[in-house]
Structure 1
Amino acid sequence: MDRLTIDDLELSGKRVLTRVDFNVPLENGAVANAARIEATLPTIEKIIGQGGRLILMSHLGRPKGEAKPELSLRPVAEKLAGLLNREVKMAPDCVGPEVEKMVAALQDGEILLLENTRFHKGETANDPEFARQLAALGEVYVNDAFGAAHRAHASTVGVAKLMKEAAAGYLLKKEVENLSKLLESAEKPYVVILGGAKVSDKLRVIHNLVTRVSA
């Protein structure tokens, strides 16, 4: 992988704005499956272990630009705190004066989870002003949200363009390398099985694979 990765960044004392994919299922106000949260732990532990001031952002569900309590990331903050055995501060929003104060108060090695980015219409619209507000929270940017990396949203594409330093986290790096192997050097014959909803999101991948796979 030729692009910058988290290992190329100086993290100590820096506000590290990190896009993760915490779009996890909730049941009765609790995380029902923590696999996506667990997948980000190597990146999170790297940042806080190096003394970075970690600011996490993610979407959850499809609130369509409205603040919906049932799609709050607060249960995710609680689950992450349990996995790390350390405090995870929860912001009341992802932008605004109160969030800025919480970010400014972060100490080295501390974690702040921003509220659902899709509570704002500017997220899915990749609104430049919304992206600017998000980007202002960090000094360096890490993208570890492979599941959302294909979307041209403010917290992915918009923020990355505004940051002086932007790099891939460990999960994104691993998934891109695995996909590259399939496209460039996989031994034949091989079969690809694609699953999940939202087939329209996978059409470009299917198109690229169809001439390479055996079945």
Structure 2
Amino acid sequence: MADFNTIDDLDLDGKIVLTRVDINVPVENGRVTDATRIEKIVPTVKDIQARGGIPVLLAHFDRPKGQRVDAMSLKQLVPALESALGQPVKFSDEAIGGPAKRAVADLVKGDVLLLENTRFYPGEEANDPTFAASVAALGQIYVNDAFSAAHRAHTSTEGIARLLPSAAGRLMEAELRALDAALGNPDRPVTAIVGGAKVSTKLELLTNLIEKVEHLVIGGGMANTFLVAQGIEVGTSLAERDMADTAREILEKSAGAGCTIHLPVDIVVAREFAANAPSEVLPADQCPADAMILDAGPATVAAISEVFAASRTLIWNGPLGAFEIPPFDAATNAAAQAAAALTRDGKLVSVAGGGDTVAALNKAGVADDFTYISTAGGAFLEWMEGKELPGVVALTKG
């Protein structure tokens, strides 16, 4: 893993610390409805303050596309920030120029300042050097705590890091260490679960993983495409029949790479996609022509659980079935509980990420038992695909 500075490595005392955070939270009628992302930045802000630094927060909200949009102002997040931090938070309605400079000049130790939405400026997403210099001029140190935006080479995630002494915040540090433990330098054997609807959206992911893991469990609608590729009929199930050749190629490559791919051996089928629709468990090759596969069956879960038990590391991205509606959440729930039990017993390092995955693990009641859960979405997926993330590369030493 590339070496990077943390906030322990830099002298922050008396310095203005430009701190990139992800507080892109859901808001309804001007009120934050889920403050999870805001709560996660608290350790970084408090640690900067404890080292004598003065945090000036940089963040985006929604997609204003370089225009000032009042409904996307960060000002509406100030009450939630104050609640999470337990102190007043100052606000500047500009992120550069005279107003921002004056707001920074008024700060003393113990203060926190939030600058306006960086995406109100065209230079943010363009990673414009002039805009980057204008923002960097406000501070002496740069800390990036927004892994979830690290796959984007924007001014606030990458450009400023080139201009100031830079470090990873606590959340970024935890994420990078967890990811390194999962794929960079993992305890082996490594198992990956990849679920979701479409092979086409996770092609790069599958291709990268078969070179990196010993076991690859494929679930959800993706598994149906692999069944089709093996000549198995899947009735009215979601499947990308035009991806069958690609699925066969992945199966062939995995054999050469020493990676075992695990597909469902039994299936749960129904005639309609609805909660508590009448369903039955059948062997994977016996889906009726008028039925759809909505989950993996109990024999598949038992097989997956055995793979977990023989593994040291697990990476999870995507559910095994239509987890949103019962009873088609059973396989995802049972597999998640098996992984959680092994993790609690110290036998498995378990790292999960992606929106549906986090929702599924929360639903299964095991999110707190996993070693690490990433809420990063796109950045987590690009990391699993083996891509370099600009916001991370910019922090590396040397």
1:54-102, Cα deviation, whole Å (9 max, x unpaired): 1000011100011111111112221111112211001111112011001
C-alpha distance in 2 between matches for 1:169 and 1:175: 10
Task: Give the secondary-structure state (helix, strand or coil) at the position aligned to 2:162.
Answer: helix
Report the counterpart of residue 174 of structure 1 in structure 2: 174
Say if 1:10 and 1:27 are closer, same or farther in 2 by CA, change over 3 A: same
Q: CA RMSD in A?
A: 2.0
Q: How does 1:111-130 map to 2 (within 5 A)?
A: 111-130=112-131
Q: How does 1:46-195 map to 2 (within 5 A)?
A: 46-163=47-164, 165-183=165-183, 184-193=185-194
C-alpha distance in 1 between matches for 2:19 and 2:207: 30
User: Is 1:47–1:109's contact at 8 Å kept on the other side of the alignment?
Assistant: no
Query: Which residue type is aligned with residue 173 of structure 2?
Result: K
Report the counterpart of residue 255 of structure 2 in structure 1: none
Say if 1:189 and 1:7 are closer, same or farther in 2 by CA, change over 3 A: closer
C-alpha distance in 1 between matches for 2:148 and 2:203: 15
**How many Å apart are 1:44 and its aligned residue?**
0.5
C-alpha distance in 1 between matches for 2:206 and 2:142: 30
**Comparing both chains, which one has the higher relative contact order based on Cα–Cα distances under 8 Å and sequence gaps of 6 or more?**
1
Say if 1:189 and 1:75 are closer, same or farther in 2 by CA, change over 3 A: same
Query: Which residue type is aligned with residue 208 of structure 1?
Result: N
**How many Å apart are 1:40 and its aligned residue?**
1.0
Say if 1:62 and 1:206 are closer, same or farther in 2 by CA, change over 3 A: farther
- Which has the larger displacement, 126-135 or 185-194? 185-194
**How many Å apart are 1:10 and its aligned residue?**
1.2
Task: Give the secondary-structure state (helix, strand or coil) at the position aligned to 1:157.
Answer: helix
TM-score (norm 1): 0.91
Report the counterpart of residue 13 of structure 1 in structure 2: 14
**How many Å apart are 1:204 and its aligned residue?**
6.1
**How many Å apart are 1:203 and its aligned residue?**
7.3
Say if 1:46 and 1:204 are closer, same or farther in 2 by CA, change over 3 A: farther
Say if 1:98 and 1:203 are closer, same or farther in 2 by CA, change over 3 A: farther
C-alpha distance in 1 between matches for 2:158 and 2:126: 11
Say if 1:139 and 1:207 are closer, same or farther in 2 by CA, change over 3 A: farther
Say if 1:207 and 1:75 are closer, same or farther in 2 by CA, change over 3 A: farther
Task: Give the secondary-structure state (helix, strand or coil) at the position aligned to 2:113.
Answer: strand
**How many Å apart are 1:175 and its aligned residue?**
0.4
Query: Which residue type is aligned with residue 192 of structure 2?
Result: V
C-alpha distance in 2 between matches for 1:212 and 1:34: 35
Say if 1:193 and 1:75 are closer, same or farther in 2 by CA, change over 3 A: farther
Query: Which residue type is aligned with residue 31 of structure 1?
Result: V
**How many Å apart are 1:107 and its aligned residue?**
0.3
Report the counterpart of residue 43 of structure 1 in structure 2: 44
Say if 1:204 and 1:54 are closer, same or farther in 2 by CA, change over 3 A: farther
Task: Give the secondary-structure state (helix, strand or coil) at the position aligned to 1:7.
Answer: coil
Task: Give the secondary-structure state (helix, strand or coil) at the position aligned to 2:143.
Answer: strand
Query: Which residue type is aligned with residue 120 of structure 1?
Result: Y
Say if 1:134 and 1:207 are closer, same or farther in 2 by CA, change over 3 A: farther
Aligned residues: 210
The yes-or-no answer on 1:211 pairing with 2:211 is yes
Pick the structure with greater CA Rg: 2
Q: What are structure 1's unaligned runs of at least 5 residues? A: none
User: Is 1:52–1:110's contact at 8 Å kept on the other side of the alignment?
Assistant: no
Structure 1 vs Structure 2: percent identity of aligned residues? 47
User: Which one has the bigger strand percentage?
Assistant: 2
Q: What are structure 2's unaligned runs of at least 5 residues? A: 217-398
C-alpha distance in 2 between matches for 1:160 and 1:17: 10
1:160-180, Cα deviation, whole Å (9 max, x unpaired): 0011x1111111011011111
Query: Which residue type is aligned with residue 118 of structure 1?
Result: R
